[in-house]
Chains A and B, each alone.
Chain A
Amino acid sequence: MFVPTTEKERQEMLRKIGVGSFDELVGSIPEKARNPAYRLPKALTEMELARHMEALGAQNRLPLSFLGGGAQEHYIPAAVWAVALRGEFATAYTPYQAEASQGTLQLIYEFQSMVCRLLEMEVANASHYDGASALAEAVNVALLDFDGRNPGRRGAVKKVIFPETLHPHYRATLKTYFHQRADVRLECLPCPDGTLAPSVLAGYVDDSTAAVAASCPNFFGLLEPAGELCRAAHARGALFIACVDPVGMGILEPPGSYGADLAVAEGIGLGIPPSFGGPSLGLVAAKRSLLRKMPGRFCGLTADRDGRRGYVLTLQAREQHIRREKSSSNVCTNQALCATAATIHMALLGPEGLREAAELCYGLSHELASALADIPGFRLKFGGASFYNEFVLQCPQDASQAQKFLLKDDILAGYPLGADYPWLKDCLLVCATETKTRADLRRLAEAARKLPVAAAR
């Protein structure tokens, strides 16, 4: 327990308050509900807790992993968390009192600036929960923008279109966010070739389409023709939302350069460990014309009474604590400490470090893909298509079984796609980032060679 108050002090406080006993302070709680019985384990000391968590931790295995699937592992320089965990960052809260929070505020401003530069977008907010919820918020911005541009269509159904190559969790999240909205229809387009053809998209986009969302690289690691998809959306007045890989931005075309209206990304990899899925952060960026409809907080540069540079939370009158049900988002607490880590991480990498990391991802994954495709029984499912650092590997047997088999060699070879894509039951999604060495790649290839070929089905 972390309560410093002694019994003597407790009595002094009660006297000062002017009550005879503590119970007089909680008289408004219904008597019959007060002090119920609890079945909780006994309290542990710090040392006992450390031992308990070590024991639990030992039940978590860390095999040589080629898992990506929207949470790719990237190297985190030691300086990132050494600084981010400083109490002055970690134990402050939302910088409501700007004069006593200039550190957090300037950091958020630098974060917004770096995200704009990374994605070549005009404005970026102070972070959202994760990539999937960031996409849901971006779609909401597009819906609001559509209503604003079409005052005569209020209440009529608006379409949001995305390909099945969008991360399955992101698609599920969109469904959760919008299935209660009578005026929104989500349309998921099949992609048997692994990417969405612009001509196919053009057949679905019409004047009732508020947004097209696609990821590049997509869930299969393939590079969608994002620029052409963006143009197909714009041709009918729909906004284009790009989901991107932030580390990939070291070598891949940024969404701002092909005219994306909104861009979102999952921040795992920008100095943030995967931690079984979170916390990380969602990046949300947009064209400046959409600024007022954006979710979340913004930090702005301004001046104090003496003309000295200073930072404040700004555009707050858009937010839920002021606009309540009329605000465009309900977000309050965001992922600021992860944004802190991401900012320090991006500053440490710089343009060259980011490029080197992305280039290593590209090189290692391509070498791995060739090595695995050379093994009899294996092939690249979408052979001719360009990919970045992840690819779909067709296995000689059910992919879940293959994954299990390779786990015996303490290797997590990839993510079996069958649960999300029944037509890819024999496929693994395999990823290699800069954290892998060529020896790691050889180890996977050698283990894969031993995989028994399943009996013909």
Chain B
Amino acid sequence: MINQGEATIFEKSVPQRRAIRFPATEGLPSSKDGLPAEHRRAASAALPEASELDVVRHYTRLSQLNFSIDTHFYPLGSCTMKYNPKINDQIALGPRFSKLHPLQPDETAQGILEALFRLERALCELCGMDAFTLQPSAGAQGEFVGVLVARAYHQKRGENRTEILIPDSAHGTNPASASLGALTPISVRSNARGRLDLADFKSRLSPKTALVMLTVPNTLGLFEDDILEIAEAAHRAGALLYMDGANFNALAGLVKPGDLGVDMAHLNLHKTFSTPHGGGGPGAGPLGVKKHLEDFLPVPRVVEEAGLYRLRGDFPLSVGRVRAFFGNVGVLVRAYCYLRRHSAKEFRQISESAILHANYLKALLKPAFEAFVDEPCMHECILQTDPKRMNGVRTMDVAKRLLEYGFYAPTVYFPLIVPEAMMLEPTETESKQTLDEFARAMLAIAEEARKTPERVKAAPQSLPVKRLDEVGAARNPDLSWPGRVSSS
């Protein structure tokens, strides 16, 4: 029998208890009279029955079981867990933006359309691109749109190119998005310096290559220093160069992807442009393109015509829409707010600080944790745990022990090509004091690993739960609380 943790809301439910009530329906047509029996629900949905206080207290208590940026240092690599200014939420959720209906006529939505138009222009400027679509709901959807744009571009030129080259260090969404767009992913090796192996890359380029997809800086936290040569080779072969901009927090204000030969790039607005990550989303993954690809972008697009902002859908070469309505507009509003808070110079300071902090952290941790590539990193660094030097303590153990020191863990076991990987991204918003404290905790854990390794392997002991049975969870998935149908 499993002991009780925090009970579920279903266990706290009491029949007949209520929170929200709606006005009476007296005199209105009733579904009991008008709705044909075959369309009527037999038993009401078995939702919890609780008072408003029950609900508020239950979910507030749940929230307190979480680590978060607002409460803890959260160096989760590749996720850019930086501070999210509160005013952005206040504006995006204010009635003048949140209550807008997506099908309102353009002339009643000029404020939001102007904000979206200006956001597009600013993103073009930061990326050195000519046009942006704001529609993709997340980075992965941005990649998917990029794949479709590339296919449409080549097809328009009468070429049926079916392959995409992706480094073996890439995030899993890259090959998954490629497959979804019916391109065949070809993996390219990384070299000992953690960069794309140029020889391997060139040997795989062919007249079938539609797209080359690079993450810059890459998932090892390194800038692809051969990018100009990669771009030239790709273009000579007739392929396009795509930049996964998940790590744009290292580049904004420092370099424009468009100046590096990149034909298109997506950004993760929730990362670089600071929307709270919400426990897994929502984000936004706008895609920027150079002029020659603009006609293929999804519809609708925001345009300015005779002083009026409009949503236009009549672009015949467009790949179409990838979701209903315009996009994750609330996230786009937050990104616009964040953008307006910073000048170009300040963006540069942000990138520089992100890079500085990552290198500083790496230097502090060097005595105990090896860097995968020993040279300056960009905004994040990849360290390794050496179980042989640490009495069998592995990266997962270090991560769990860190939680007890009051720090969220870095991204672990990614990228897949690095054994025992830890990916640390401190971001620009953390202070030197926090980085120092974090480093002290990491070094203390390394020391523990030498003296009392069992303590590290048994972590965490002091959190709401100890290590969980993931094998049992996957073998016999329990994905919902029993009782699908109301008993009433």
Contact = CB atoms under 8 A, between A and B. Distances in A.
Touching chains A and B, CB distance < 8 Å:
yes
Nearest to A85: B89
A110 B340 contact: no
B364 interface: yes
Contacts of A278: 102, 137, 282, 323, 325-331
B343 A26 contact: no
B68 A89 contact: yes
Interface string B456-488: 000010011111111011100111110111101
Nearest to A46: B87
Contacts of B29: 362-363, 366-367, 370
Contacts of A301: 473, 478-479
B109 A100 contact: no
A346 B59 contact: no
B278 A340 contact: yes
**Interface size class for chain A?**
35 or more
Interface in A377-403: 386, 403
Q: Which 8 residue pairs across A and B have the least CB separation, nearest first?
A: A277-B325, A337-B278, A87-B70, A363-B28, A57-B96, A59-B111, A336-B280, A277-B102
B387 interface: no
Given A29-B223, A97-B408, A129-B141, A337 B281 contact: yes
5 contacts: A17-B363, A87-B70, A278-B137, A302-B473, A354-B47
A79 B69 contact: no
A100 B64 CA distance: 10
B281 A106 contact: no
A133 B67 contact: no
B96 A62 contact: yes
A103 B478 contact: no
Contact of B479 (A112, A344, A407): A112
Contact of B337 (A18, A49, A133): A49
Interface string A1-37: 1111100011011101111001011111110011110
A49 B2 CA distance: 52
A370 B173 CA distance: 51
Interface stretch (A64-72, A152-160, A446-454): A64-72
B255 A29 contact: yes
B129 interface: no
Interface in B1-44: 1-6, 8-10, 17-23, 25, 28-31, 34-36, 38-42, 44
A376 interface: no
- Residue of B34, B140, B144 with highest tally of chain A CB at under 10 A: B140
Given A61-B108, A324-B172, A120 B477 contact: no
A161 interface: no
A401 B45 CA distance: 41
A5 B432 contact: yes
Contacts of B228: 30
B399 interface: yes
A127 B473 CA distance: 19
Interface in B326-345: 326-331, 337, 339-344
A333 B281 contact: yes
A173 interface: yes
B62 A106 contact: yes
Interface string A80-105: 01111111111111111111111110
Contact of A83 (B56, B143, B144, B151): B56
B30 A359 contact: yes
Interface in B118-168: 122, 125-126, 128, 137-141, 143-144, 148, 151
B465 A362 contact: no
Contacts of B211: none
Interface stretch (B198-206, B286-294, B348-356, B447-455): B348-356
A33 B259 contact: yes
Contact of A176 (B52, B319, B378): B319
B344 A40 contact: yes
A128 to B, nearest CB: 9
